[in-house]
Amino acid sequence: MVETERNMATSRGLEKYADILGFPSPEDLKSELEGKQVLDAGSGEGNLKKELGDEYKITNLDVRHIPDSNSVQSMAEFMPFKDESFDTILCNHSLFFYAQENEKMTLEESINKQAKETYRVLKDGGKMYIVLFPLDSDFASPVTEDSKFYTYTTFKRNELIKSQPLKVLKNVGFNIDKSEKFTHTTEKGDVVLARVVLGKSKLNTN
């Protein structure tokens, strides 16, 4: 009975996060997580791991402390992981959003460092999925020449816009496999989001 309830909870979690992350179906998300080391970068309170349970090897990374043995408190610019630690990285409204300008680095340096760190900890052949608000959202603005990558209006600064995060990701070695919009269903109605899928290959010559 307990096992059945756990399986049902996991199924509900897969359905929910397939919708949130723009996967065509829960099975597609399951295949991306199953048997893989997954990093939820900018995990917040770690809800993805909580709802999917221990069946999947998900590590939470966030600047806030999460009381969980598989959670790490750290900035994305300084990930405390070995090279090529993860098969999959999920960035749900997180990557670049928390780039910071301080006495140690400029905003653009922060963005570049985040891009380099995600590339470093992703295994060769791995995938990174980034979900953001789309261009026509009240919460977003374009930050690339082709307007396929987006960020919150709170980051409408010249340094960020000039840095062009999608270009930054290409420069550190990522392949841009897909850039698309999808519809996410919420209690208040449907929301259109943007999704970027990136791949890592040492043979990449970009």
Whether residue 104 is contained in a domain is answered as yes
Query: What's the pLDDT tens digit per position in 87-113?
Result: 999 999 887 666 666 667 777 788 888
Query: What's the pLDDT tens digit per position in 64-91?
Result: 888 888 899 998 899 999 999 999 999 9
What is the reported pLDDT for 101? Answer: 63
**Rounded Cα distance, 117 and 132, in Å:** 19
* Below-50 pLDDT ranges, the chain: 1, 135, 138-163, 205-206
Whether residue 81 is contained in a domain is answered as yes
**Rounded Cα distance, 69 and 101, in Å:** 30
Whether residue 165 is contained in a domain is answered as yes
Residue 128 sits in a domain whose CATH number is: 3.40.50.150
CB 85 within 8 Å of CB 37: yes
Instruction: Note the pTM of the prediction, 2 decimals.
Output: 0.83
What is the reported pLDDT for 192? Answer: 76
DSSP at 202: T
Range of the domain at 92: 2-200
Whether residue 206 is contained in a domain is answered as no
Please report, to the nearest 10 degrees, the dihedral formed by the alpha carbons of residues 140, 76, 91, 129 taken in order: 110
**Cα torsion 98, 101, 105, 106: sign:** positive
DSSP at 25: S
What is the reported pLDDT for 102? Answer: 66
Report which residue type is found at 80.
Answer: P
Of 92, 1, 8, residue with least CA distance to 42: 92
Whether residue 205 is contained in a domain is answered as no
Number of domains in the chain: 1
Where in the chain does DSSP place strands (E)? 37-41, 57-62, 71-73, 86-92, 122-132, 140-142, 150-152, 174-186, 189-200
Question: Which pair of structure tokens corresponds to residue 172?
Answer: 């550190």
Whether residue 32 is contained in a domain is answered as yes
Whether residue 6 is contained in a domain is answered as yes
What is the reported pLDDT for 83? Answer: 97
Whether residue 164 is contained in a domain is answered as yes
